[in-house]
Amino acid sequence: MAISSWPVRLVLLLLGGATFEASARWWCSEHRYHHRYVDTNRDPYGINKGFWYAHIGWLIARRDREIGFENVKDLDKDPLILWQHRYYLPLAILFCFGLPTGIAALWGDPWGGLVVAGFARLVCVQHFTWCINSVAHTFGRQTYSDRHSAKDSGLMAFFTYGEGYHNFHHEFPSDYRNGHRWYHWDPAKWLIRCLAFLRLSRGLRQTEREKILQARLLMERKRMTERLAVHTAALPMAAEVIDHALAHLQSAASRWMALKAEYAQLKRTGLQSIADRVNELRREMHQARREFRRAISTWKLLIRQPLPVM
């Protein structure tokens, strides 16, 4: 969980009203409820009730009283969040319609600001947001887990500012990122990181690489086993090869991560007496990294092989 300074929180709370998606207090309560009861009847916008219910129908069947605010007591300690919740409607009107109208009036086009930057923008933003509940739970790839319906989609990430990497988000909800790789389109991740660099945000949580890799490998193994299930004669041998390759890759990853952690710790101490161990660790890390890369290449070749012919 990232904790931002009060000026950042104030700006986000004010501009958040421009989305007309209710107060931050209400939104966080619904979102936490969604994660806790995803794909069940208690999910406020569960995809199990249909695509259009998850997209927009849930707004008609509002369940605010059932959900309440018991799950956001930590947020209730923030006076800014309580203030925005109390005055949400006037703030939303001001920043959603008043601000763009006023800015466009500076060059003599207030109606253009109201229609384009107000109403048209609002429709686009809300539908892109609702697509996270519907499209991101229907189309894409379950990269890290199939225990929930969330999917990863680079295309959806582009339209939802990174939220399209939704399988990752549901599997590792405490991670401040949606797209964990450097090239994943995730403007929110970059903004948070910039704020942290400027010391305007702190407490960023990031899932260990080994944990992410393990989840992805287990899903790839599961998909391969399912593909081979129809080839009963080849299944035992293929399963043994897959398990051996997976164990080798996980072992190489663990060794690489352990050496990397030990090297970083020793470098932080800066003691001359451990210089020899640092140099030795550097050599071991190079060897472990080469082994890790070879194991990844072997794994990728294995999962891309065509199925055996009956």
Alpha-carbon distance of 274 to 296, in angstroms, equals: 32
Alpha-carbon distance of 284 to 228, in angstroms, equals: 37
Q: How many domains does the chain have?
A: 2
Vertex 76 angle, CA 55 and 163, to 5°: 30
Residue 308 lies in a domain: no
Q: Write down the pLDDT at residue 3.
A: 67
Residue 250 lies in a domain: yes
What is the SS3 assignment for 171? helix
Please indicate, yes or no, whether residues 156 and 251 belong to a single structural domain of this protein.
no
Q: Give the residue from 149, 176, 202 where a domain finishes.
A: 202
Please indicate, yes or no, whether residues 217 and 89 belong to a single structural domain of this protein.
no
Residue 166 lies in a domain: yes
Please give the model's pTM, rounded to 2 decimal places. 0.80
Task: Return averaged pLDDT per consecutive 10 residues of the chain, 310 residues in all.
Answer: 80 92 92 93 91 90 74 93 95 95 94 94 94 95 94 94 94 94 93 92 87 83 72 56 66 71 69 62 69 69 59
Q: Give the residue from 181, 202, 223 where a domain finishes.
A: 202
Please indicate, yes or no, whether residues 89 and 214 belong to a single structural domain of this protein.
no
Q: Which of 21, 52, 219 is nearest to 121 (CA)?
A: 21
Please indicate, yes or no, whether residues 62 and 136 belong to a single structural domain of this protein.
yes
Residue 310 lies in a domain: no
Residue 62, CA atoms < 13 Å, CB-side half-sphere: 10
Residue 23 lies in a domain: yes
Q: Which residues contact 3 (CB under 8 A, 6 or more apart)?
A: 201, 202, 203
Q: Give the residue from 182, 202, 222 where a domain finishes.
A: 202
Please indicate, yes or no, whether residues 226 and 90 belong to a single structural domain of this protein.
no
Please indicate, yes or no, whether residues 151 and 213 belong to a single structural domain of this protein.
no
CA 250 from chain center: how many Å? Answer: 23
Burial environment of residue 199 by CB neighbours within 10 A (0 to 12, 13 to 18, 19 or more): exposed
Residue 104 lies in a domain: yes
Q: Write down the pLDDT at residue 309.
A: 47
Q: Which two tokens stand for residue 179?
A: 């797209």
Any long-range contacts for 176-179 (C-beta under 8 Å, 24+ apart)?
176/1, 176/2, 176/204, 176/205, 176/206, 177/206
Please indicate, yes or no, whether residues 94 and 152 belong to a single structural domain of this protein.
yes
Domain residue limits at 285 = 209-303
Q: Write down the pLDDT at residue 274.
A: 63
